[in-house]
């Protein structure tokens, strides 16, 4: 009897993997010309306006997949249609290898790309090809538990000037949002009408809250949008949000990449400004579909291709780097490998690298990954029971920074997505000396704002001695007397502020701990930053 059961289980296992996944790329879109002549028929007015504001053309990729082709594919023997992508003009199908291969005879099928590389006539990559990394009024917030993770990136400086994400729309693509529609932590968000909608692409259900297999999305959203008076403040509490469930928490299959691209296309058509995704893909339940670190080259995986197109369409995409830093895999997953997205690694409360944070790798040739870092070690989040808890993962460093960038973008609304990302990188703590663990380092969003406003650098200034024990002297040109000085520690936290009233004035830094600091000197319209070391006594 045991042997029969074993053989039955083996048979069922074999049958289950007889079903293959593939992307069917189509030849054309017969209705393309008509759709482009009437763009409001395929895009919302907000999406059209966003593209015009950023100088982005509406093109054939904005036209939906031809519905007649999809309908015909659904009638083919043994074929199940699971998802579609207008950007890639492709349909995700499931069926036997024989039935999928037979689709190549259809006149509208250009190529077939199996998730199992060995089944392709020509491999999608010269390489051999992620698990989810489940991870001018003034505003005076009391941050409570989130103070460290907000101040680390200097988002509080933006909040004080009433830049809290208002007017910025973020699509959160994740694995589940239970209780967001009822929890007290999101009451402020709901009262302000800032949850604009959502969709569960996994179950094809408009009720995004019904899927309770995972609360990961709820926790991710809380780092940006959560608000509990005097206890918890997200980094963009006044931004607007769409909630898209694209990750199937019960399995790991390439179709989730297709769901993600569908959601990104939906976000684009709705005029979304930013995407936050704390998901990544490396290996799957069926090992034939697995990627390798060499595939994290920014152009191989389906989801990375989609993320890059989203960026081309004018969406600022923020992605968690992944939690594989301490594993044999080590490097970032997809779509964090795209050179066009902002990939965010993790640090602890002291600004030190956390070992689980995925690193840059040899596959990312000519560009830096991760881009920057934020707190991912024991970050504060709100769980599905409205309790403030601490979780590890770049799943949380990415949205913490994403919300901060939304607040930044509100402050510099004329900047393009590419410019905003550049300002964030340039403001980071090790911009001139990036590495594969921290990228360009911890951003200073207040400094990024100054860069975005075009404040120019002040010349002919000298600070000495450096390193310094007690008194740091600043030599100023005559016209810059009465300049403001702010000193930041390695976490981007403000530790000293003063005003200089003479051409050569001493700043006493004896109270500062030994370590590395950044001094920012500001006049009315100009600024300059200096690095110095406070040595031990």
Which of 395, 397, 427, 450 is an active site residue?
395
Do residues 106 and 71 make contact, with C-beta atoms less than 8 angstroms apart?
no
Query: DSSP letters of 372-391?
Result: EEEE-TTEEEE-TTS-EEEE
Please enumerate in sequence order all residues whose Cβ is within 8 A of that of 141, keeping only pairs 6 or more positions apart, or say none: 156, 159, 233
- DSSP letters spanning 125-142: SSS---------------
Locate 120 and state its tokens: 């392709």
Which is catalytic among the residues 21, 133, 174, 268?
Answer: 174
How many CA atoms lie within 13 Å of 306's alpha carbon, on the beta-carbon side? 27
Quote the CA–CA distance of 84 and 88 in Å, as a whole number. Answer: 9
Cβ atoms within 10 A of the Cβ of 257, count? 29
Q: Which of 21, 216, 240, 429 is catalytic?
A: 216
Contact 420, 412 (CB under 8 A): yes
3-state secondary structure 506-530: EEECCCCCCEEEEEEEECCCEEEEE
Helix (H, G, I), strand (E, B) or coil at 19: coil
Closest Cα to residue 445, out of 50, 141, 160, 232? 160
Does an H or E element contain 268, and which?
helix 255-269
Examine the residue annotation and report whether 174 is marked as an active-site residue of this protein: yes
Spell out where 64-127 has E strands: 80-85, 90-95, 109-114
Please say whether the dihedral angle defined by the alpha carbons of residues 178, 182, 183 and 188, taken in this order, is positive or negative.
positive
159 in catalytic set: no
Three-state SS at 322: coil
- Residue 66 is among the residues annotated as catalytic for this protein: no
Tokens of 363: 């596959």
Contact between 228 and 187 under an 8 Å Cβ cutoff? The reply is: no
Structure tokens at 231: 């206890």
The CA distance from 472 to 461, in Å, is 13
Report whether 402 contacts 276 (CB < 8 A): yes
Alpha-carbon distances, residue 536 vs 468, 494, 518 (angstroms) = 9, 20, 17
Q: Which residues fall within 8 angstroms of residue 143, CB to CB, at 6 or more apart?
A: 150, 151, 156, 232, 233
Which of 375, 371, 387, 386 has the alpha carbon at shortest distance from 348? 375
By the 8 A CB rule, do 495 and 517 touch?
Answer: yes
* DSSP character string of 22-48: EEEEES--TTHHHHHHSGGGTS-HHHH
Measured at the CA of 394, the angle between CA 391 and CA 397, to 5 degrees, comes to 85
Q: Which residues are catalytic?
A: 174, 216, 395
């Amino acid at each position: 009897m045991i042997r029969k059961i074993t053989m039955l289980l083996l048979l069922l296992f074999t049958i289950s993997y007889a079903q293959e996944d593939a992307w069917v790329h189509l030849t054309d879109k017969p209705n393309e010309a008509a759709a482009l002549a009437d763009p409001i028929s395929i895009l919302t007015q907000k999406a059209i306006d966003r593209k015009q504001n950023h100088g982005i053309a509406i093109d054939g990729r904005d036209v939906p997949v031809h519905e007649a082709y999809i309908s015909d594919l659904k009638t083919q023997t043994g074929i199940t249609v699971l998802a579609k992508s207008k950007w890639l003009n492709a349909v995700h199908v499931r069926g036997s290898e024989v039935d999928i291969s037979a689709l190549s005879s259809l006149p509208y099928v250009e190529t077939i790309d199996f998730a199992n590389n060995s089944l392709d006539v020509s491999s999608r990559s010269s390489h051999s090809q992620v698990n989810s990394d489940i991870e001018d009024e003034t505003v005076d917030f009391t941050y409570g538990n989130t103070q460290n993770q907000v101040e680390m990136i200097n988002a509080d400086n933006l909040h004080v000037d009433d830049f809290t994400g208002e007017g910025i729309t973020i699509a959160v693509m994740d694995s589940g949002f239970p209780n967001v529609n009822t929890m007290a932590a999101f009451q402020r968000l709901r009262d302000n009408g800032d949850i604009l909608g959502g969709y569960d692409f996994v179950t094809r259900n408009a009720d995004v809250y019904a899927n309770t297999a995972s609360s990961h999305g709820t926790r991710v959203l809380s780092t940006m949008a959560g608000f509990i008076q005097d206890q918890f403040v997200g980094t963009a509490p006044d931004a607007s949000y769409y909630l898209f469930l694209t990750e199937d928490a019960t399995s790991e299959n390439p179709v989730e990449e297709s769901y993600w691209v569908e959601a990104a296309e939906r976000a684009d058509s709705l005029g979304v400004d930013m995407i936050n995704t704390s998901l990544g893909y490396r290996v799957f339940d069926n090992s034939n579909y697995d990627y390798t670190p060499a595939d994290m080259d920014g152009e191989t995986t389906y989801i990375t291709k989609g993320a890059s197109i989203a960026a081309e369409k004018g969406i600022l995409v923020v992605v968690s780097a992944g939690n594989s830093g301490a594993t044999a895999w080590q490097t970032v997953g997809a779509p964090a490998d795209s050179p066009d997205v902002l990939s965010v690694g993790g640090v602890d409360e002291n600004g030190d690298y956390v070992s689980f944070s995925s690193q840059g790798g040899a596959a990312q040739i000519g560009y830096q990954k991760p881009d920057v870092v934020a707190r991912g070690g024991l970050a504060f989040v709100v769980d599905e029971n409205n309790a403030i808890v601490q979780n590890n993962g770049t799943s949380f460093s990415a949205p913490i920074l994403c919300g901060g960038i939304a607040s930044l973008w509100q402050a510099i609304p004329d900047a393009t997505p590419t410019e905003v990302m550049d300002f964030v990188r340039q403001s980071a703590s090790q911009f001139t000396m990036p590495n594969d663990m921290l990228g360009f380092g911890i951003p200073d969003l207040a400094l990024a704002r100054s860069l975005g406003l075009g404040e120019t650098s002040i010349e002919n200034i000298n600070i000495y001695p450096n390193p310094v024990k007690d008194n740091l002297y600043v030599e100023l040109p005559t016209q810059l007397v009465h300049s403001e000085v702010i000193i930041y520690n390695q976490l981007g936290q403000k530790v000293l502020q003063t005003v200089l009233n003479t051409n050569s004035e001493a700043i006493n830094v004896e109270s500062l701990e030994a370590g590395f600091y950044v001094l920012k000197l500001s006049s009315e319209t100009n600024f300059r930053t200096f690095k110095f070391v406070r040595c031990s006594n």
